[in-house]
Amino acid sequence: MRRVVVSWSSGKDATLTLLRLLERDDIHVVGLFTTHVDRYVPFQGTPIEVAELQAKRCGLPLITIALPEVFPANKVYQRLVVEGLANSGIEFDSLAFGDIYCNGIAEYRQAYVEAAGWQCLFPLLGESSESLANDLLARGVDTVLMCVDSERLGDEFLGRHYSKALLEALPEGVDLCGEEGEFHSLVLNAPYFDRAIAIELADIDTQGRFHMQRYRVVDND
C-alpha cells in the first residue's frame, strides 16, 4: 500500500484529488502539504491558518513550506519543497498532485520528486474540465470562488459557490475548472470533512490584476 502526501492548495482540484485517493484500497493518505508566502497560499490567497483548519477537518497533518516569493527560481522552489517534505517527520513514498492539463507539468514534478526518491501520482491528469466539474458537483463538494483574474472574469463571481448555475454563467472561453488561471477557490466542506467551515464575506481586494474576496472564519476552533 502506498503512503501518500497530497499537494494541498485549499481549493477544489486538491480536494477532488484527495477524495479519489481516499476511495482507493491501495492508497493510505498520510498527510497534506502546501507552500505559502508570508503565511498565504499563493494564487488562492488562503491564510495558512485556514488551510490548517481544512486539514484538521479531514483529520490529516498539514506540512507547511515557506517560499521567499510566489515565483522563486525553479531550483529554489524544488529544494525548499524537497527539504520541507523530507524534514516533516511523516513517512511516505508518494506525492499526489491535482494537475489536470497534460502540458509538461507532470514531467516537471516527476523530475525533482523522483530524484528525491518518491513517486508521483496524478489522479486528475488528462480528464476533461467538464467531467471534473460534474464529479465535484455530484460529490457535494462546497467550494467558493475567492480569486479571479480580472482580465478574464468579473468581480461578481467572487464569493459565489461553485455550482451548475455558476458554470452556466461563466463567459465563453473560461475553463469550467479555471485551469487557465481564471479563478481559484476555497473548499468549505467535502465528504471527508468532519464538519463544514463557516465564513463571513468581507470586502474585495481589487489591487492588481488578480482580485481577492476577503473573508473571516466564524467558527474557528
Contact by Cβ (8 Å): 197, 54? yes
Cα separation, 171 vs 167, whole angstroms = 9
What integer pLDDT is reported at residue 65 of this predicted model? 98
Cα separation, 113 vs 120, whole angstroms = 7
The pTM of the full predicted model, rounded to 2 decimals, is 0.96
Other CB atoms within 10 A of residue 68 CB: 11
Q: Which three cell numbers stand for residue 50?
A: 485556514
What integer pLDDT is reported at residue 20 of this predicted model? 98
Which domains does the chain show, CATH number per domain?
2-121 (3.40.50.620), 139-217 (3.90.1490)
What integer pLDDT is reported at residue 103 of this predicted model? 86
What integer pLDDT is reported at residue 219 of this predicted model? 74
Spell out the residues 6+ positions from residue 183 whose beta carbon is closer than 8 angstroms to its own. Answer: 145, 147, 148, 149, 153, 157, 174
Cα separation, 189 vs 194, whole angstroms = 9
Q: Which three cell numbers stand for residue 94?
A: 508518494
Grid cell 492548495 is found at 9
What integer pLDDT is reported at residue 220 of this predicted model? 59
Mean pLDDT by 10 residues, the chain (221 residues): 97 97 97 97 93 97 96 96 98 97 92 98 96 97 98 97 98 95 97 95 96 90 64
Grid cell 486528475 is found at 124
Cα separation, 213 vs 136, whole angstroms = 22
DSSP state of 161: B
Q: Check the CA dihedral 122-15-155-216 and report its sign.
A: negative
DSSP letters, 13-54, are HHHHHHHHHHT-TTEEEEEEEEEEBTTEETTTTEEHHHHHHH
> SS3 for 89-134, per residue?
CCCCCEEECCCCCCCCHHHHHHHHHHHCCCEEECCCCCCCHHHHHH
What integer pLDDT is reported at residue 221 of this predicted model? 64
